[in-house]
Amino acid sequence: MTGTARATTPGEAYDIERIRADFPILGREVHGKPLVYLDNGASAQKPQSVIDTMRAVYEDEYANVHRGLHYLSATLTDRYEGVRETVRRFINAEKTSEIVFTRNVSEAINLVAASYGRANLTEGDEVIISVLEHHSNIVPWQMLRDEKGVVLKVAPISDDGEFLLAEFEKLLGDRTKLVAIAHTSNVLGTILPAKEIVRLSHDAGAKVLFDGAQAAVHMPVDVRDLDCDFYGFTGHKLYGPTGIGVLYGKEAVLDAMPPYQGGGDMIAMVTMEKSTWAPLPHKFEAGTPAIVQAIGLGAAIDYVTDIGMAAIAEHEHDVLTYATQRLSAIDGLQIYGTAPSKAAIVSFTMESAHPHDISTVIDRAGVAIRAGHHCALPLIDRLGVPALARASFGLYNTRAEVDALAEALEAVQEIFG
């Protein structure tokens, strides 16, 4: 491990200055103003420890994994496989064999749809998603629907963005085979009642997959406590590199699934007649993996674990509460997503200005947010808006940055008034 800041030890106050100093990019300016990075929902910035770790591997330790008997390959294989243990602990899985590396959460979901879905679902079987899904958790199921004649059902939300558990329960039936739902909405911030979803789904005999892209970054996740069958998340939103994601699956479920892609690394034996599959999790990892990215993800998880996911959640909750207050006070600004259980994401519209215009104007004040449909068009339709502006906060954001956002939005008012 490199010697960058250990942010806090339990019981210590959240040392935001030290944490911010760990992220070199936060020191830069944009259009002559200090960067206020509030687009963490799209992708988070990287701490020095992640950057250093990855560079050190390339400079000093690099080789392919699982192949060579030579020193570098053997050492790096240990290091790469060690990340599985880091991930296992991070989400409290039972075994490292349940941790499959993917490119991102999209691939994790596609893997389940293509492997589990194709093997286990037949015409007339039902998959339940929700209206607040990211396209990544819609399109793979539509593809399965079109291929297998599976029926796709959509669980609704309230106007506040709350998941309607009772309505969801009504959708469950004999033919429900799989429930694939976001643990946290990337637009509304809503934290879904995951345990209840699992309990109800299991009672109906369905398996459950959570898209944890936005949940794993904002709060502690315990897959055994949730009792879900699959859980996916993506490294680049968790302060790690792009190109690496995780699919957790219960061992028994993964074991019974056919491979996802064919290639090197995923086989036990190959003859021209037939191949046999490698044991879990390698069965699902064809070809040379994203070795350095996986190690970078390990460093990112070490980083957030050092601070503590509970401490991060608490800090972000404070920033969220403040942001909600500050933004609500702006004339003509409406916040979308006011569920009681919410991660640090604030989507909004302004009466006077379209989200793009908002984004363009505040960008000139150094404030980076996202504007548009957030890869969740069905949700945007449900909300009845053409687009939304979204400020999504991370572990390094501060109340002062919320002030900068609010002041920039006041400038938007001035222009478009």
Partner 1 sequence: MFDDLRDLYQEVILDHGKDPRNFRKPDEANREALGQNPLCGDQLVVYLELDDHGVIQDAAFVGKGCAISVASASMMTELIQGKTEAEADALFGRFRGMCTSDEEPDFADAGDEDMERLQVLSGVRQFPVRVKCATLAWHAMNAALRGEAQVSTEE
Ligand X SMILES: Cc1ncc(COP(=O)(O)O)c(C=O)c1O
3-state DSSP call for residue 153?
strand
Q: Which of 360, 400, 407, 410 binds partner 1 (CB under 8 A)?
A: 360
User: Token pair for residue 223?
Assistant: 């897959």
Site for partner 1 contains 415 (CB under 8 A): yes
Nearest to 157 by CA among 142, 168, 141: 168
Q: Which is nearer to ligand X, 8 or 136 (CB)?
A: 136
Q: Up-side HSE of residue 403: CA atoms within 13 Å toward CB?
A: 4
Our answer to whether residue 375 is catalytic in this structure is yes
Residues 176-195 that bind ligand X (CB under 6 A): 182, 186
Q: If contact means CB under 5 to 8 A according to the sort of partner, which of ligand X, partner 1, none does residue 66 touch?
A: none
In whole angstroms, the minimum distance from the beta carbon of 359 to partner 1 comes to 9
Site for partner 1 contains 361 (CB under 8 A): yes
Strand partners, 373: none
Q: Up-side HSE of residue 245: CA atoms within 13 Å toward CB?
A: 23
Residues 313-372 that bind ligand X (CB under 6 A): none
Site for partner 1 contains 371 (CB under 8 A): yes
Instruction: Look at the chain and count its residues.
Output: 417
15 and 8 Cβ atoms separated by less than 8 Å: yes
d(CA 192, CA 161): 10
96 and 83 Cβ atoms separated by less than 8 Å: no
Q: Where are the beta strands (DSSP E) in 55-203?
A: 99-102, 126-130, 151-155, 176-182
Site for ligand X contains 53 (CB under 6 A): no
Q: What is the distance between the terminal CA atoms of the chain, rounded to a whole angstrom?
A: 52
In whole angstroms, the minimum distance from the beta carbon of 84 to ligand X comes to 19
99 and 84 Cβ atoms separated by less than 8 Å: yes
Interface pattern 121-140 for ligand X (x via CB under 6 A): -------------x-xx---
d(CA 112, CA 122): 15
Site for partner 1 contains 174 (CB under 8 A): no
CA dihedral 221, 226, 230, 235 (to 10 degrees): -10
In whole angstroms, the minimum distance from the beta carbon of 30 to partner 1 comes to 12
Active-site annotation holder among 254, 295, 375, 409: 375
Question: Strands across the sheet with 126-130, in order?
Answer: 99-102, 245-249, 230-234, 207-211, 176-182, 126-130, 151-155
Q: Which is nearer to partner 1, 14 or 416 (CB)?
A: 416
Q: Which is nearer to ligand X, 347 or 413 (CB)?
A: 347
Stretch that binds ligand X, among 6-14, 99-107, 198-206, 267-275 (CB under 6 A): 99-107
Site for partner 1 contains 386 (CB under 8 A): yes
In whole angstroms, the minimum distance from the beta carbon of 363 to partner 1 comes to 9
Who's near 146: CB < 8 A, 6+ residues apart?
none
Q: If contact means CB under 5 to 8 A according to the sort of partner, which of partner 1, ligand X, none does residue 414 touch?
A: partner 1
Who's near 196: CB < 8 A, 6+ residues apart?
165
Q: If contact means CB under 5 to 8 A according to the sort of partner, which of partner 1, ligand X, none does residue 234 touch?
A: ligand X
In whole angstroms, the minimum distance from the beta carbon of 353 to ligand X comes to 24
DSSP strand pairing (333-336 vs 345-350): antiparallel
Interface pattern 218-247 for partner 1 (x via CB under 8 A): ------------------------------
Site for partner 1 contains 331 (CB under 8 A): no
Q: Which of 201, 214, 293, 349 binds ligand X (CB under 6 A)?
A: 214
3-state DSSP call for residue 94?
coil
d(CA 317, CA 340): 12
Judged by the rule CB under 8 A, the positions of this chain that interact with partner 1 are: 31, 353-357, 360-361, 364, 371-373, 377, 380, 386-387, 411, 414-416
Judged by the rule CB under 6 A, the positions of this chain that interact with ligand X are: 104-106, 134, 136-137, 182, 186, 211, 213-214, 234, 375
Catalytic residues: 375
